[in-house]
Amino acid sequence: MAKTAISQQKSALSETAFAWLLIAPAMLFILVIVAWPLLETIRLSFTDANLGGESYVGTKNYEDLLSSRKFSQTVSRTFYWMFFSVMLKLILGLIGACLLNANVKGKGLFRVLVMPPWVIPVAIGCIGWLWLYNGHFGILAGIGQRLGILDGPFEFLAYKNSAFWSAIVTDVWVGTPMVTLFFLAAMQGVPVDLYEAAYIDGASRWYRFRRITIPQIFPVIVSMMLLSAIWTFNSFEVIWILTEGGPRSATTTLIVDTYKTAIANFKFGKGAARAVVIVVLLSLFSLFYLLVLGWLNKRMGSK
């Protein structure tokens, strides 16, 4: 008896050691390439680092940011951008998933055709959009003029408002396939007997959608909301390729601002302070999400 207990303990110990041995390489890599730079970013944000060198400046970078009207505009613009983009992605994703879930001929083909925007490099898709938005020769301006909505060539990316919404449309285009795919998978996981029971009771299609589909896939909706929010918040390539943050900063989100400050203008310290703001905002955001998710689980579990 005692002998087996000891040998069990021994094997448990070696299991721990073995497990960490297996994880160690990946963990070390992440520590060097992600965790250490993250700490370094925090340190740099308290310096005036640039190409010439660096010296400690305390919280000056943050004070500058706090007192800068431009920066607070950038922050609110980022949340604007995130809110609209995520909402549109979720709504379109839900509609798309319902359509692709419909029992019609050719659904297999339709499901494949939704995916290309997600599969190809974002940068290449954006180059395509760049041409679409061309005022003189792009198809959007072309259709607009043909239909009489526009009375002449219209440069979508040249005006503040239209550039902002054009960037949102492109970002939604990039993000929707993934959301659609996850919603579709979740919908297919809903037990069919639920629908059959409701159908026999005479529930309409809309009622079944509202009372069965939505509650059943709700956890996936919440997860996709967070994931899309993080991706949208971090979305850099779409804006950089379409407008580089212009015209007159109309599409400058936090991430673009950070990139411009740090990489394009070599103000590493100031850029680092902006990066830290991003990290803090994202962490708060995730924390909030986890709280909501925990609360939801508790509420749904107790039912």
Partner 1 sequence: MMDRYSLWQTVFIYCCIFIFLAFMLLPFVEMFMTSLRPMSHLFRSPYQFWSDDLSFEAYSDIWETVPLLSRYILNSIFIAASVTAITMLFVIPAAYAYARLSFPFKTASLGMFLAVNMFTGAVLLIPLYRVLRTLGMLNTYWAMIVPGVAFLIPTGIWLLRSYLEKIPKELEEAAFVDGASRLYTLRRVVLPLAVPGLIVVSVAVFIGAYAQQFLFAITFNQVREYQPLPAGLFEFVGYQEVVWNQMMAAALIGVLPVLLLFLFLQKYLIAGLTAGAVKE
Tell which positions 200-219 bind partner 1, by CB under 8 A: none
- Which residue stretch of 62-70, 77-85, 252-260, 291-299 sits at the interface with partner 1 (rule: CB under 8 A)? 252-260
Number of residues written out for the chain: 303
Residue 162 binds to partner 1 (criterion: CB under 8 A): no
| Among 86, 90, 168, 186, contact with partner 1 (rule: CB under 8 A) | 186
Considering the complex, state which of residue 58 and residue 121 has its C-beta at the smaller distance from partner 1.
Answer: 121
| Runs of H (alpha helix) within the chain | 2-30, 36-44, 60-67, 69-101, 107-113, 116-119, 122-132, 139-147, 160-188, 192-200, 205-208, 214-234, 237-242, 254-259, 268-302
Query: How far apart, in whole angstroms, are the C-alpha atoms of residue 266 and residue 282?
Result: 24
| Among 146, 160, 210, 211, contact with partner 1 (rule: CB under 8 A) | 146
Considering the complex, state which of residue 59 and residue 188 has its C-beta at the smaller distance from partner 1.
Answer: 188
Location of structure tokens 């960490």:
20
Q: Check residue 151 and report its DSSP letter.
A: S
**Strand, coil or helix: 56:** strand
Rounded to the nearest whole angstrom, what is the least distance from the CB of residue 205 to partner 1 in the complex? 9
> In sequence order, what are the beta bridge partners of 47?
56
> In sequence order, what are the beta bridge partners of 56?
47
Considering the complex, state which of residue 69 and residue 125 has its C-beta at the smaller distance from partner 1.
Answer: 125
Paired tokens of 12: 């448990």
Rounded to the nearest whole angstrom, what is the least distance from the CB of residue 37 to partner 1 in the complex? 4
| Among 4, 16, 67, 302, contact with partner 1 (rule: CB under 8 A) | 16
Residue 281 binds to partner 1 (criterion: CB under 8 A): no
- How far does CA 47 lie from the centroid of its chain? 30
Binding letters toward partner 1, positions 21-40, x by CB under 8 A: xxx-xxx-xx-xxx-xxx-x
194 within 8 A of 209, measured Cβ to Cβ = no
Residue 102 binds to partner 1 (criterion: CB under 8 A): yes
- Which residue stretch of 66-74, 160-168, 185-193, 295-303 sits at the interface with partner 1 (rule: CB under 8 A)? 185-193
| Among 6, 113, 284, 296, contact with partner 1 (rule: CB under 8 A) | 113
Rounded to the nearest whole angstrom, what is the least distance from the CB of residue 198 to partner 1 in the complex? 9
Smallest Cα–Cα separation from 219: which of 260, 257, 187, 267?
187
- Which residue stretch of 60-68, 156-164, 177-185, 295-303 sits at the interface with partner 1 (rule: CB under 8 A)? 177-185
Site for partner 1 in 47-86 (CB under 8 A): none
Residue 243 binds to partner 1 (criterion: CB under 8 A): no
Helix axes 69-101, 160-188, angle to 10 degrees: 40
| Among 65, 77, 96, 228, contact with partner 1 (rule: CB under 8 A) | 96
| Among 62, 111, 159, 212, contact with partner 1 (rule: CB under 8 A) | 111
**Strand, coil or helix: 133:** coil
Query: How far apart, in whole angstroms, are the C-alpha atoms of residue 36 and residue 203?
Result: 56
- Beta-carbon contacts of residue 86 (< 8 Å; ≥ 6 apart): 225, 228, 229, 232
